[in-house]
Amino acid sequence: MLRRVLDWLESRTGVETAVKHFLYEDIPASAGWHQVLGSVALFAFMTQAFTGVLLAFNYAPTPGDAYNSLRYIVTELTAGRIIRGLHHWGASLMIIVVVLHMTQVFLWGAYKKPRETTWMVGVVLLLVTLAYGLTGYLLPWDNRAYWGTVVTTQIASQAPGAGPYLLRLLGSDGGSIGVVTFARFYAAHVLLLPPLTMLLVGIHLYLIRRHGVTPTPQDEGIPKKKFYPEQVFKDTVATFVWFAVLAVMAVAVQVPLGRIADPTDISFIPRPEWYFLFLFQLLKLFEGPLEIVGSVVLPTLAILTLFLVPFLDRGQVLRVRNRTGAIALVALGVIGWSGLTARAVATTPPSTESPNAGLAEIEPWQQIPPDQLAAIGYFRKDNCGNCHILDKSGPGPDLTKTPSHRPDDWLMQHFRQPAPNAPATQLSGAELKTLAAFVTKRDDKAVEAWISAPQAGVEGAMVYEANHCGMCHQLNGVGQKVGPPLNGLADHRARDWVEGHFADPQKFTPGSTMPPYKLSSHDLDRLTSYLLEIPK
């Protein structure tokens, strides 16, 4: 049956002949493990295309929404984290395999006549691969993406003569990164580069078939072998090893997601992806008017040299071990690249923002107003939970099921004398009122916080309430706006600053009308920690 279907397909399309023609290609007897890298690179590209399309199914390509939809992918969607991991680490691993492929071809001298154009198309493919990295870097739209791209566009702006036009092309007129830049980078990443890659890969493969896999001098007079199955087996094993590394990384290594891009956050230290770090470091070697040497002249020269390699080396094809010049050049390249990269890693100060700041789960207690969180503290302080066991049945009603229906005066009475011989309350009248309001009006989020809020955070909110911070500041939607709102304080203030500011506001903010607060070290610690944990 299958035979008949295949025969029908063969007679109508010739597909079987085509596949056989592809698989039973003659290759030199010397072909082997060193030539698997091109196949692995092609597979890497296909994996990127596959995971890229999957990401696009849940990704909204405009600033703001881009970040939120990516966050949705990695926090809300099952396996979303793995898909992003495959795409992110796949990009890095693709760069590695592409560079290794090029190094192998270079060492073996496989770019020599008649394969010059195969090499040159390959160099363009390398640039296209790097362009994916550059444009894809902006797409998460977190601080890392934003500030990294600011540096990129600044470098582009230094190109002599073409700088301003290049900037305009990148949608970054005047050097700022905005919606237009984002649209350009996205369109390049998903609309321009993929078809271009397919076209170039097609030409590259056509040229390889036209000239055949490069033989070595030892192949002279030895009969050729077939591509299938031995070489296909080696290609598959290499591809599998590459994929296994990728799969392990996608599952085990979390891809960072910082906070949403904030153009006013000038404290963020930008750094490019690891494979661009050496360029980043190169820039530091040239100062002042010479900077252009590092940012434009040297990279351009390097690309041109790479492109013209087949014309610079026109000697006889030699055995690899006799190509000492090529080996020395590769060694020099590896040393130079590693040195610059290591130096860049060592000299870049650590980021002020945790790389996974955007992935931190925001808990209910961080979202409810401070008076409610403080009320949870009053409930705990007066040991109300001894009778009112939360989320379980106990001597008193479970207050998490339904809000209390009792009128305020009943509640106040109850708080003062909960049971005939219960100890007297330790709370003030104002605190009791806050507690009464809480048990009658709490919403579902407050109930979750009631059960799960950490005691340190609760105590912070109690200090906040005791010092009436809400008279001037707004936090989680409650309080006056005389002073600045306090949500997201951690994004722009360090702990030392906040603690110092309580003791002497005018010293840190000249002209501030905030009075100094003499807090005990315990209270100061709790309040500061609390404020630094409330997100934007």
Partner 1 sequence: MDTQSTTRRSFYSAVIYGLGAIISAALALPAAVYLLFKPRSQKQAQWVDAADLGQLQIRKPEEVVFRRTRVDGWRVLNEKTTAWVVRMDEQHVVAYSPQCTHLGCAYHWDDRQKYFICPCHTSAFSIEGKVLAGPAPRPLDRYVTRVDSGKLLIGSQIERG
Please report, as ranges, the residues that interact with partner 1 according to CB under 8 A. 47, 50-51, 54, 57-58, 60, 65, 68-69, 71-72, 75-80, 82-83, 86, 229-230, 232-233, 236-237, 239-240, 243, 247, 402-403, 405, 443-445, 448
In the complex with partner 1, which residue's Cβ is closer, 245 or 290?
245
Q: Kindly report the three-state secondary structure assignment for every residue of 306-375.
A: HHCHHHHCCCCCCCHHHCHHHHHHHHHHHHHHHHHHHHHHHHCCCCCCCCCHHHCCCCHHHCCCHHHHHH
In the complex with partner 1, which residue's Cβ is closer, 351 or 487?
487
Other Cβ atoms less than 10 A from the Cβ of 206: the count is 12
Nearest to 188, CA basis, from 134, 146, 141, 116: 134
Nearest approach in angstroms of CB 212 to partner 1 is 21
Q: Which helix (H) or strand (E) holds 291?
A: helix 291-292
Nearest approach in angstroms of CB 403 to partner 1 is 7
Nearest approach in angstroms of CB 202 to partner 1 is 22
In the complex with partner 1, which residue's Cβ is closer, 50 or 165?
50
Contact indicator for 59, 70 with CB cutoff of 8 Å: yes
Q: How many CA atoms, within 13 angstroms, populate the side-chain half-sphere of residue 118?
A: 22
Nearest approach in angstroms of CB 398 to partner 1 is 16
In angstroms, the first-to-last Cα distance of the chain is 65
Which pairs with CB-CB distance under 8 Å and at least 24 residues apart come from 199-202?
Answer: 200/121, 200/124, 200/125, 200/128, 201/42, 201/45, 201/125
In the complex with partner 1, which residue's Cβ is closer, 447 or 486?
447
Nearest to 265, CA basis, from 332, 333, 177: 177
In the complex with partner 1, which residue's Cβ is closer, 78 or 421?
78
In the complex with partner 1, which residue's Cβ is closer, 68 or 506?
68
Instruction: Give the rounded distance of the alpha carbon of 268 from its chain centre.
Output: 15
Nearest approach in angstroms of CB 215 to partner 1 is 22
3-state DSSP call for residue 440?
Answer: helix
- Token pair 């002599």 in the structure block, residue: 160
Distance, in Å, from the CA atom of 419 to the CA atom of 255, rounded to the nearest integer, reads: 55
Contact indicator for 67, 140 with CB cutoff of 8 Å: yes
Nearest approach in angstroms of CB 86 to partner 1 is 8
In the complex with partner 1, which residue's Cβ is closer, 213 or 447?
447
- Sign for the pseudo-dihedral over CA of 42, 45, 51, 57: negative
Nearest approach in angstroms of CB 28 to partner 1 is 18
In the complex with partner 1, which residue's Cβ is closer, 240 or 410?
240
Nearest approach in angstroms of CB 445 to partner 1 is 8
Q: Kindly report the three-state secondary structure assignment for every residue of 481-509.
A: CCCCCCCCHHHCCCHHHHHHHHHCHHHHC
Contact indicator for 72, 194 with CB cutoff of 8 Å: no
Q: Which helix (H) or strand (E) holds 3?
A: helix 2-13
Nearest approach in angstroms of CB 41 to partner 1 is 15
Nearest approach in angstroms of CB 79 to partner 1 is 4
In the complex with partner 1, which residue's Cβ is closer, 67 or 280?
67
